[in-house]
């Protein structure tokens, strides 16, 4: 229960989420019968004692500790990604990229406008011109943190209903993160590529997370790949982090999964159908073991109808327009069970 207790020269606000704020304040009159103020009175007292900005900053600072960051930084780019370099120089080798709103630990700030950071598996330097720090970063993190359900077992069944009788939509590998919706009795409701589904609660862990940087290894396409495949994949990766829009085909303003693929291939003079199901009829069907950068990977719903497409970029990963919440992102190619792989390019 939310309560506000009166102390002679201090107010202690106990918030249901577990956040505790202690601040100096003038004494408050309490009744003789009890030294407790009803929960309804908290908001008015906070309004009198704290500005909105101060409260948000304090809340974000307290919450930030649970995310595992001591000195958090947030990538502040309009679109695209913040480059992470091996040395504090624009000529430094690229070692990773931080998508918009991804988080990092700031280890050191140089005198010439760079920050030494770690983010995910990336360690390097980013320009301070595109990095939020201090209270600004904490407030931003508090507004963008997402809740995910992480699979604790391989081949986790994702079902159409919250029941073992529900049709299996797909399977996800151990460690895969799914967008969390809500917890039910014995089940967790998740969203995969914008579609609601259910997983057994005993096989997932629900926690909060912030996006982190992507390593160059995750972005590499591999050796022995034709120039056109390299160019197509490099072109597609420019739009990492851009928005998902249902029915959209804009690589900058928003696209859905098939709209993203359609527009990437259009740049290279290849015309594809509009929907994922129709795109799966193009090109040559191949095995997953034969995938090369530039090939397409398709996924289906419980009825077997293809409803999602992703572009293979090498290293066992795909780039795809996933959902309104996550936008254009990189995933393992088997983040859900692939049902078909197709080679479109003739090389």
pLDDT, tens digit only, all 347 positions of the chain: 333 333 333 333 333 333 333 333 333 333 333 333 343 333 343 344 444 445 445 554 444 445 789 999 999 998 778 999 999 999 999 999 998 999 999 999 999 999 999 999 899 999 999 999 999 999 999 999 999 999 999 999 999 999 999 999 999 999 999 999 999 999 999 999 999 999 999 999 999 999 999 877 666 655 455 778 888 998 999 999 899 999 999 999 999 999 999 999 999 999 999 999 999 999 999 999 999 999 999 999 888 899 999 999 998 999 999 999 999 999 999 999 999 999 999 76
As assigned by CATH, the class of the 72-144 domain is mainly beta
Task: Point out the catalytic residue in the list 6, 24, 320, 341.
Answer: 320
CB of 96 closer than 8 Å to CB of 84? yes
Least Cα distance to 239 among 71, 63, 81, 16 occurs for 81
Taking 3-state DSSP, the helix, strand and coil percentages for the chain, each rounded to the nearest 5, stand at 20, 40, 40
Q: Strand, coil or helix: what is 25? A: coil
pLDDT of residue 43: 38
Task: Point out the catalytic residue in the list 6, 104, 257, 341.
Answer: 257
| Residue 308 among the catalytic residues | yes
Which residues does residue 343 pair with via DSSP β-bridges, in sequence order?
284
- Which residues of the chain form CATH 2.30.30.40? 72-144, 146-209
Cα 68 from Cα 53, distance rounded (Å)? 23
pLDDT of residue 226: 72
Phi, psi torsion values for 57, nearest 5 degrees? -65, -45
Task: Point out the catalytic residue in the list 24, 116, 282, 308.
Answer: 308
CB of 11 closer than 8 Å to CB of 28? yes
| Residue 282 among the catalytic residues | no
Cα 293 from Cα 286, distance rounded (Å)? 13
Q: Strand, coil or helix: what is 110? A: coil
| Residue 24 among the catalytic residues | no
Question: Strand (E) positions, 89-222?
Answer: 94-99, 103-109, 114-119, 122-127, 131-132, 146-151, 156-159, 168-172, 177-184, 187-192, 195-200, 204-209, 214-215
Phi, psi torsion values for 108, nearest 5 degrees? -165, 150
Rg (C-alpha) for the chain, rounded Å, is 24
Phi, psi torsion values for 43, nearest 5 degrees? -60, -45
- Which residues of the chain form CATH 3.90.1720.10? 220-343
Q: What is the DSSP letter of 64?
A: H
pLDDT of residue 224: 54
Cα 53 from Cα 62, distance rounded (Å)? 14
Other residues' Cβ atoms within 10 Å of the Cβ of residue 8: 6
pLDDT of residue 225: 59
Cα 206 from Cα 208, distance rounded (Å)? 7
pLDDT of residue 262: 98
Question: According to CATH, what is the number of the domain 146-209?
Answer: 2.30.30.40
Cα 333 from Cα 322, distance rounded (Å)? 13
- Rounded to two decimals, what is the model's pTM? 0.66
pLDDT of residue 62: 47
CB of 85 closer than 8 Å to CB of 69? no
Token pair listed for 209? 């997370």
Looking at the structure, give the CATH architecture of the domain made up of residues 220-343.
Answer: Alpha-Beta Complex (3.90)
């Amino acid at each position: 229960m939310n309560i506000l207790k009166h102390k002679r020269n201090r107010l202690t606000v106990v918030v249901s989420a577990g956040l505790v704020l202690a601040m100096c304040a003038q004494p408050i009159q309490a009744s003789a019968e009890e030294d407790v103020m009803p929960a309804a009175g908290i908001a008015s007292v906070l309004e009198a004692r704290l500005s909105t900005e101060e409260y948000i900053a304090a809340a974000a600072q307290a919450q930030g500790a649970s995310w595992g960051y001591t000195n958090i930084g947030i990538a502040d780019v309009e679109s695209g990604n913040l480059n992470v370099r091996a040395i504090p120089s624009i000529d430094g080798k690229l070692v990773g990229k931080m998508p918009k709103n991804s988080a990092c630990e700031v280890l050191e700030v140089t005198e010439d406008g760079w920050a030494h950071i770690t983010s995910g598996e990336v360690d390097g330097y980013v320009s301070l011109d595109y990095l939020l720090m201090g209270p600004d970063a904490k407030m931003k993190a508090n507004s963008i943190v997402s809740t995910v359900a992480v699979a604790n077992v391989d081949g986790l069944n994702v079902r159409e209903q919250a029941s073992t009788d529900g049709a299996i939509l797909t399977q996800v590998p151990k460690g895969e993160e799914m967008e969390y919706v809500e917890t039910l009795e014995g089940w967790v409701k998740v969203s995969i590529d914008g579609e609601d589904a259910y997983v057994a609660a005993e096989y997932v862990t629900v926690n909060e997370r912030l996006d982190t940087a992507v390593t160059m290894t995750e972005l590499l396409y591999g050796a022995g790949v034709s120039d056109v495949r390299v160019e197509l994949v490099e072109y597609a990766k420019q739009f990492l982090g851009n928005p998902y829009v249902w029915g959209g085909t804009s690589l900058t303003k928003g696209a859905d999964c098939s709209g993203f693929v359609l527009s990437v291939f259009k740049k290279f003079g290849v015309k594809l159908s509009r929907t994922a199901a129709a795109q799966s009829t193009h090109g040559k069907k191949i095995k997953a073991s034969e995938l090369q950068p530039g090939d397409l990977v398709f996924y289906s719903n419980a009825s077997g109808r293809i409803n999602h497409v992703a572009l293979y970029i090498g290293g066992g990963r795909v780039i795809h327009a996933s959902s309104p919440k996550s936008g254009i992102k990189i995933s393992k190619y088997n983040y859900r069970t692939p049902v078909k792989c197709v080679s479109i390019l003739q090389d």
